[in-house]
Amino acid sequence: MTGTLINAAAVLVGGTAGLVFGARLADRVRQTVMAGIGLFTLAMGLKMFLETSNPLIVLGSLLVGGILGEWWRIEDGLRAIGTALEARFTKDDQGSLRRGDFLRGFLTASLLFCVGPMTILGSIQDGLTGDYSLLAVKSVLDGFASLALASTLGGGVLFSVLVVLAYQGGITLLASGAQAVFTDTMVAEMTAAGGVLLMALAVGSLLEIRPVRAGNLLPSLILAPVAVWILTRLGLV
C-alpha cells in the first residue's frame, strides 16, 4: 500500500497547488494545458492498445463490459458520489467551485489516475514484491496532471484521491494473494483494454469531442484477463 499512499499524496499536493495558483493562469493557458493533457492521454491510450496480441479479446471485453457497466450504472454511481461530495463541500451562492466543474473534475481525475499500465502493473508489483518504484513514477505524473486539472476543473479533482486509494489499494491487496494468476498475456490484454478507456476519456472529457460514458466500460479491465484465462484453458491462445 506504500505506493498507493504516495500516489494519493501527490494528487492532493498537486491538486491543492492547482487550486491556489490556478487562478493566476489565463484561460487560454489552462485550455492549452488541458488540450495537451487530452492529446497525451489519447496517444498513451493508443500506445497501450497496440500492446494487444488479440484485438478480439479487447473488443469482446469492451462490449460485454459496456453492457455490464450500463446495467450496473457505474458512471451514475461515480456521478452520485461526486454530487454528494459537491453538495457537502460546495456553496451554491458564492462558492469558489462551480457545480459542473466539480463533478467533471472528480470523474475525469478518477478515471485518468486509475486507468493505465502504471496503475495496474505498479499496484500488482507493490502487492507481489513490495516494490513501489513504478507507482512512485506514476505519482509524479499524477501530481502534475492534478495541478493542471484542478486549476481548470476545481476541487473535484482532490476527491478523486478516494477512488485512487480504493482502486489501487484494492489491486495491491488482491495481487498479494494472486501471484500465480496474472500472466504476461493477461496483463497485456488488460493494458490494451485500459488504453481504449483512456482514449474514451480523452475524447469524451478532456478534449470534449463527444460524450462517452467511459466509466461504464471499467468492467472490461476485469473481463480481459478472464477471457485470456478461459481461452488458455481451451487451448486457443
Q: What is the pLDDT along the chain (237 residues), one digit of tens a residue?
A: 888 999 999 999 988 988 888 667 677 776 787 788 788 888 888 988 998 999 999 999 999 999 999 999 988 887 787 677 666 665 554 444 455 677 888 888 887 788 666 687 788 878 877 888 879 888 888 888 888 888 878 888 898 899 899 989 998 998 887 767 778 898 889 889 988 988 988 888 778 888 888 888 889 988 999 999 999 999 887
Per-residue pLDDT, 99: 57
Per-residue pLDDT, 76: 85
CA 11 to chain CA mean position, Å: 12
Render 107-173 in DSSP notation, one character per residue: HHHHHHHHSSHHHHHHHHHHHHH---HHHHHHHHHHHHHHHHHHHHH-GGGTTHHHHHHHHHHHHHH
Per-residue pLDDT, 97: 47
Compute the Cα dihedral for 28, 31, 36, 37 and give only its sign. positive
CA distances from 36 to 42, 58, 124, 162, 202 (A): 10, 27, 29, 25, 10
The answer to whether the predicted template modeling score (pTM) of the entire model surpasses 0.85 is: no
Residue with grid cell 505524473, as numbered in its chain: 141
Per-residue pLDDT, 60: 96
